[in-house]
Amino acid sequence: MMIPPFDYKIPNTIEEACDLLWQAGGKAKVIAGGTDLVIGLRQGDHVPPLLIDITRIEELRKIEEMNESVFIGAATTHSEIVSSSLVKKYGRVLSDAASEIGSPQIRNVGTIGGNIVNASPAADTIPPLMVLNAMGKVVSKEGERQVPLSQLFRGPYKTTLKPHELLIQIIFAKLSPEVRSSFVRLARRGAMAIARMNVAIVLQTEKRKHRIEEICISVGSVTPTPQRMSEAEAFLRGKSPDEEVLQKASLKISGTMIRESGIRPTTSYKKPVIEALFVRAMRKALEEST
């Protein structure tokens, strides 16, 4: 399908981008890698009169650490995240997820900010960011705000961002070296597939793996907006993760899915799959050496 003509601007600073977004009165759209947006336009999404390309804004492409936190610029590509030693060291669950996205070509242009703002229920970086308790920094001509990632979502493909707001940074507290984590996903096809369901876990066990001290779980594609699986987390805290406990916890995960999303035609397929995927993610996290 032919895309109608539109204006294209490439600001060099965050301030310039905010000015352009403000002047457009909510009609412009931000473009980063374009891997979601351009496909949407080709498929008939409304074409905005102006696209604002944020990939030349240097500040949005940095990964930095300060004190106890890691800061990732919103226009950082998945490949840059995969090759970041900072993310590997302090937020391994995110680099593991980024390494499985799409194909090398998609990872080289697709950005973490685009993955978040596109708000697909199956977005691979969102569950890892949920278990890292990440915050998003949002700016506009009206000012700056920092929000927990979960509060950026309103529903599938819907965020709480105003049309003139720009997500500029993702921030998470560094995980300590003894924390284990895992990311597993189930994709429909091979490497180019978008995952249908994914699970991210951050886990702290007592020495010798006998007891779970702290655990964060988030599962993609099973709830209307991304969230933590707090019922399963509470059940697992203080327990030894033997097979029986894992099976019981997996029922809490599918129970949350059914409670939040209702019984759907896909439920009979999704229920056993998400239970198995969760158990696989737990085993993987428990096997990870710290």
Ligand X SMILES: Cc1cc2nc3c(=O)[nH]c(=O)nc-3n(C[C@H](O)[C@H](O)[C@H](O)COP(=O)(O)OP(=O)(O)OC[C@H]3O[C@@H](n4cnc5c(N)ncnc54)[C@H](O)[C@@H]3O)c2cc1C
CB of 87 to ligand X, least distance (A): 15
Smallest gap from residue 73 Cβ to ligand X (A)? 9
Cβ proximity to ligand X, 188 vs 248, nearer residue: 188
Of all residues in the shown chain, the one whose CB is closest to ligand X is: 114
- Judged by beta carbon, residue 117 or residue 212, the one nearer ligand X is 117
Nearest residue (CB) to ligand X, 194 versus 197: 194
Smallest distance, ligand X to C-beta of residue 54, A: 6
34, 109 contact by CB (below 8 A)? yes
3-state secondary structure 22-68: HHCCCCCEEECCCCCHHHHHHCCCCCCCEEEECCCCHHHHCEEEECC
- Distance (Å, whole) CA 248 – CA 78: 34
One-letter amino acid for residue 266 of the chain: T
- Helices 267-287 and 243-261, interaxial angle, to 10°? 140
Q: What does the binding site for ligand X look like in residue numbers (CB under 6 A)?
A: 29-37, 39, 54, 74, 101-102, 106, 110-111, 113-115, 117-118, 123-124, 161, 166-167, 192, 194-195
Kindly tell me which of 212 and 277 has the beta carbon lying closer to ligand X.
277
Q: How far apart are CA 238 and CA 264, in angstroms?
A: 34
User: Using CA of residue 47, residue 53, residue 55, residue 61, what is the dihedral sign?
Assistant: negative
What is the smallest separation between the CB atom of 84 and ligand X, expressed in angstroms?
16
Q: Closest CB to ligand X among 35 and 84?
A: 35
Question: Rounded to the nearest whole angstrom, what is the least distance from the CB of residue 132 to ligand X in the complex?
Answer: 16
